[in-house]
Structure 1
């Protein structure tokens, strides 16, 4: 079920539905949370509407440390509870996912008759694919038309997708830094690169040029 979640994010479907105000009024924030497979600091923080840094600090950790399945986390409540704090806003500019800047063959498009949820780079001299931002590897898979692909989860509901890989060099659950190696491109295809924020597809070219 978790894999289906990330595949649908990759395809651009709206999965992360906000809880209604009515539901929020009736439910109380639990004091603890048991980590399950595939969880990340950012995902858990978003679920309980706190900043990832607040959640990690309360548990004596940092967001760069890995979580462990079945680990019990304290959840901020009362005065500890914060909405996404300014410190959780992405401060660094995303880096190019390729060693060199390659020409974009197919651009991002929101046109209903010709949608394209990401960008397709030309296959040039660059073959090494790197993480554009620090985050967690949440899904590794294969799909016809996109070959092997990797999905990273970042802060503030942001996801990046890297497709047309011949060889993947990361594993699910792994924390990566910006410019860390993700894999090697297929010999006959350029990189497919997609960026989502929650259920919205963003234009990767604009993000690479000006940040988020």
Structure 2
């Protein structure tokens, strides 16, 4: 049952959100809001009677960053404080680069409904060794078409990291790993797929890695 639980979590990470019908610019009653053309952080904040800074921080962003049409935002439910931390601040130590050396990102993270991508894809360069980006526990090892062999690590504060496109896996489920520990070897013709989640909410891996690169 435990293995099935983590597999279902993994499926939740990778399944793409379906394209929904055209949204009305009216605020949704749920805790999410779909961005429409002309929206701004401050305009949306006024609709929901919250601080623009709180709204941006809840979504791991700042008010200086652009919004994208049809982007899905989480809306404060009244319990969040103005000083709410961004997801990146949940990480107590700097994350390490998951490869031996820095490689170019060929597919970036995207929350756009028409082109969602919940992680980042590195080019298959000179790096072959895949390393743990943060200390944690190996909670799932498996194979899936499109991602080949993959590993899910569980970290503090409900954070998970996923490493896909591995040819060989060199850890086992239940194993505790430290940052930079060897996880496996990349496939010969694919670059690393790397994803970071807080529970089922995907985070931008490039932002997570910024402090550690």
Partner secondary structure for residue 189 of structure 1: coil
- The equivalent of 2:103 in structure 1 is 102
- Once superposed, what is the RMSD of the aligned Cα atoms? 1.8
User: Could you say which structure has the greater relative contact order, defined with CA pairs below 8 angstroms and 6 or more residues apart?
Assistant: 1
Corresponding residue number in structure 1 for 2:131: 130
Q: Deviations over 1:2-58 (max 9, x none)?
A: 233222322335xxxxxxxxxxxxxxxxxxxxxxxxxxxxxxxxxxxxxxxxxxxxx
What is the rounded CA distance, in whole Å, between the counterparts of 2:112 and 2:10 in structure 1? Answer: 18
CA-CA distance at 1:91 after TM superposition: 2.2
How far did 1:179 drift? Answer: 0.2
- How far apart are 1:92 and its partner, in Å? 1.0
Which residue number corresponds to residue 8 of structure 1? 8
Asked whether the 8 Å contact 1:12–1:200 carries over to 2, the reply is: no
Which residue number in structure 2 is paired with residue 151 of structure 1?
152
Over 4 Å off, 4+ runs: none
Structure 2: give runs of 5+ residues left out of the alignment.
Answer: 14-89
In 2, distance between residues paired with 1:90 and 1:146? 26
| Partner in structure 1 of residue 201 of structure 2 | 200
Q: Provide the rounded CA distance (Å) in 2 between the counterparts of 1:190 and 1:176.
A: 22
Q: How does 1:1-212 map to 2 (within 5 A)?
A: 1-12=1-12, 90-210=91-211
Q: What secondary structure sits across from 1:12 in the alignment? A: helix
Distance in 2 (alpha carbons) for counterparts of 1:181 and 1:10: 21
Distance 1:210 1:180 in 2: 18
- Unaligned runs of at least 5 residues, structure 1: 14-88
CA distance in 1, matches of 2:91, 2:107: 27
Pairs aligned (count): 138
Any conservation in 2 of the 1:131–1:182 contact (CA below 8 Å)? yes
| SS of structure 1 residue aligned to 2:5 | helix
Task: Tell me the alpha carbon deviations over residues 79-109 of structure 1, each in whole angstroms, 9 at most, x when there is no partner.
Answer: xxxxxxxxxx532110000000000000000
- Partners of 1:146 and 1:192 in 2: CA distance: 7
- Structure 2 partner of 1:75: none
Q: How far 1:186 sits from its partner (Å)?
A: 0.2
SS in 1 for 2:190: coil
